[in-house]
Amino acid sequence: MKRFAFLYRQMDQTTSTNRKLQALVDYFQAAEHQDALWTIALFSHRRPRRTVTTTLLRLWAAESAGIPLWLFEASYDMVGDLAEAIALVTPPPERSETLRTLKDWIRFMQELKDVDEEAKRKAILEAWSQLEQDERFLFNKLLTGGFRIGVSQKMVTKALAQVLAMDENAVAHRLMGDWTPDNTTWDALFQSDSALDDHSKPYPFYLAYALEGAPEDLGALSEWAAERKWDGIRGQYIHRGDTWFLWSRGEELVTDKFPELETLMKIIPPGTVLDGEIMPWKEDKPLPFADLQKRIGRKNVSKRLMIDIPVIFKAYDLLEWQGKDLRERPYQERRALLDPIIEAIPPGYPIRLSPMVPAGSWEELTTIRSRAREEHCEGLMLKRMDSAYGTGRKKGDWWKWKIDPLTIDAVMIYAQRGHGRRASLFTDFTFAVLDGEQLIPFTKAYSGLTDAEFDEVNAFIRRNTLDRFGPVAVVKPELVFEIAFEGIQASSRHKSGIALRFPRIKRWRKDKLRKEANTFQDLQEMLEQYG
């Protein structure tokens, strides 16, 4: 655990990318393979199962610290993070344990699964009494399952490539897929060829950057291909051997959530990997993104749900064909292969091509982009014709060219307090539009204010609180803010009958009075036009 804690400290404390990378390299060189494997797993959100409830951990933390539970709860409230609060209040170790490494502590935790509460208590108290503060913090993070660390998958991959003397892309590929340290070993993952036989293994997704400048700056239009930017879930469809897999961008296997795509095995040959978008789709038109979320949220996908919200796979890239990795080939060539394959599929199968959008000039493309919302898209994607399919975020070959957000001027009516040390600050705000003399709340929004504005808004709220319900303050409805959002949909779950996508505060309209805010009528019209 000492070595892992040391790595964690280094990653946490330095801002230098080089030093972070070096720390990872040093760690992977020195650590035992099974420890290193767990480290990779934790960095890629493969967490061990929880074996102790947080309620019990709080009780035992108070016991270990020699304080009453109310004082522990108050302390936890201040810190805002349970793992950290426990690490801070529990006493320093009587003797510091050096023998157990990361994998041993994880096994220690896993073995608590089937023992009774008293045995769990003894084990946890013993663990705390042997670990230094930052080790206790990490141990607790493992226990509570909330492990997050500021290191990119790309950096881990880079460090491993250096240690293993392997190509970065090959390492990235081997790290993907459905493995955990419990079902594989270091050698099986990196050394043997069998890793490549793992049929489930997806390719790392190539990600696009948001285009900030003018499209003309990208050079001649002839070097670029344009496509619609769909509002679905990025996915990779794999058919290898006699099975199929569907991966989402978060490296999550979502095959079970979309059973209707199984039928694609009949018309897409084995040895094929497609990149595309999982889209809710009905009557040849996309459904709102919120519908797709309903499907993802459900544990079991019912027949009813599949009829109400059917999905299709919108294909836009071909990564593997006839068992061959095509990623190094130019985009143009991959599309030339992909288009006829998809177009040849008879109608009725849940797959569509994401067609290229032809245009004679950047101006023409700009006009097409401005109509994106009517076509239920978020804008356009620009992909360099001769680009290979990279890994992660190599800048410059793929761009997201989104349309400008919708905006509406709204009145702040409620403010809610934050957590931890921010408990003294209002951080979440609710906004309303006008309906005659009435105010109709329609969205929450946060962020987007400068620090100075944030302080000013907080001071206003403190002076102008009309009523209070727990952490929520009813604010004198006076301040007007411009709220930006990406989409608008009808919703039965919201009182206003409206749900916004990605609402945030764009700016404070100090120049506007309450009566100058937008009306419920305006909102309805937006819903009709863009919903």
Tell me the sheet residues that pair with 491: none
> Could you tell me the smallest distance in angstroms from the CB atom of residue 421 to another protein?
6
Binding mask 70-109 for another protein (x = CB under 8 A): xxx-xx--xxxx--xx--xx--------------------
Q: Closer CB to another protein, residue 423 or residue 513?
A: 423
Q: Closer CB to another protein, residue 14 or residue 180?
A: 14
* Options 65, 159, 225, 351; binder of another protein; rule CB under 8 A: 65
> Could you tell me the smallest distance in angstroms from the CB atom of residue 28 to another protein?
21
Q: Closer CB to another protein, residue 139 or residue 224?
A: 139
Q: Closer CB to another protein, residue 85 or residue 372?
A: 85
Nearest-5° angle of CA 494, CA 496, CA 497?
65
Q: Closer CB to another protein, residue 75 or residue 129?
A: 75
Q: Does 67 bind another protein (CB under 8 A)?
A: yes
Q: Is 230 exposed, middle or buried (0-12, 13-18, 19+ CB in 10 A)?
A: buried
φ, ψ (nearest 5 deg) of residue 174: -70, -25
Q: What is the 3-state secondary structure (H, E, C) of 368-413?
A: HHHCHHHHCEEEEEEEECCCCCCCECCCCCEEEEECCCEEEEEEEE
> Could you tell me the smallest distance in angstroms from the CB atom of residue 149 to another protein?
12
Rounded distance between C-alpha atoms, residue 227 and residue 114, angstroms? 53
> Could you tell me the smallest distance in angstroms from the CB atom of residue 75 to another protein?
5
266, 358, 454 from 465: Cα distances, Å? 63, 55, 16
Q: Does 68 bind another protein (CB under 8 A)?
A: yes
* Options 16, 55, 222, 438; binder of another protein; rule CB under 8 A: 16
Q: Closer CB to another protein, residue 25 or residue 305?
A: 25
Q: Going by C-beta distance under 8 Å and a sequence separation of 6 or more, which residues neighbour residue 277?
A: 230, 232, 233, 234, 235, 313, 314, 316, 354
Which parts of 398-457 interact with another protein (CB under 8 A)?
420-422, 451
Q: Does 119 bind another protein (CB under 8 A)?
A: no
Which parts of 177-196 interact with another protein (CB under 8 A)?
none
Is-contact 350 282, C-beta < 8 A? Answer: no
> Could you tell me the smallest distance in angstroms from the CB atom of residue 10 to another protein?
10
Rounded distance between C-alpha atoms, residue 29 and residue 39, angstroms? 13
Q: What is the 3-state secondary structure (H, E, C) of 200-267?
A: CCCCCCECCEECCCCHHHHCCHHHEEEEEEECCEEEEEEEECCEEEEEECCCEECHHHCHHHHHHHHC
Q: Does 510 bind another protein (CB under 8 A)?
A: no
Q: Closer CB to another protein, residue 155 or residue 411?
A: 155
Q: How many CB atoms lie within 10 A of CB 7?
A: 23
Q: Going by C-beta distance under 8 Å and a sequence separation of 6 or more, which residues neighbour residue 201?
A: 173, 174, 176, 177, 195
Q: Closer CB to another protein, residue 13 or residue 110?
A: 13
Count residues contacting another protein (CB under 8 A)?
Answer: 25
Is-contact 76 58, C-beta < 8 A? Answer: yes
> Could you tell me the smallest distance in angstroms from the CB atom of residue 449 to another protein?
15
> Could you tell me the smallest distance in angstroms from the CB atom of residue 139 to another protein?
16
Q: Does 52 bind another protein (CB under 8 A)?
A: no
Task: Report the SS3 class of residue 191.
Answer: helix
Nearest-5° angle of CA 453, CA 458, CA 462?
150
Q: Closer CB to another protein, residue 65 or residue 143?
A: 65
Q: Does 146 bind another protein (CB under 8 A)?
A: no
Binding site for another protein (CB under 8 A): 13-16, 19, 65, 67-68, 70-72, 74-75, 78-81, 84-85, 88-89, 420-422, 451
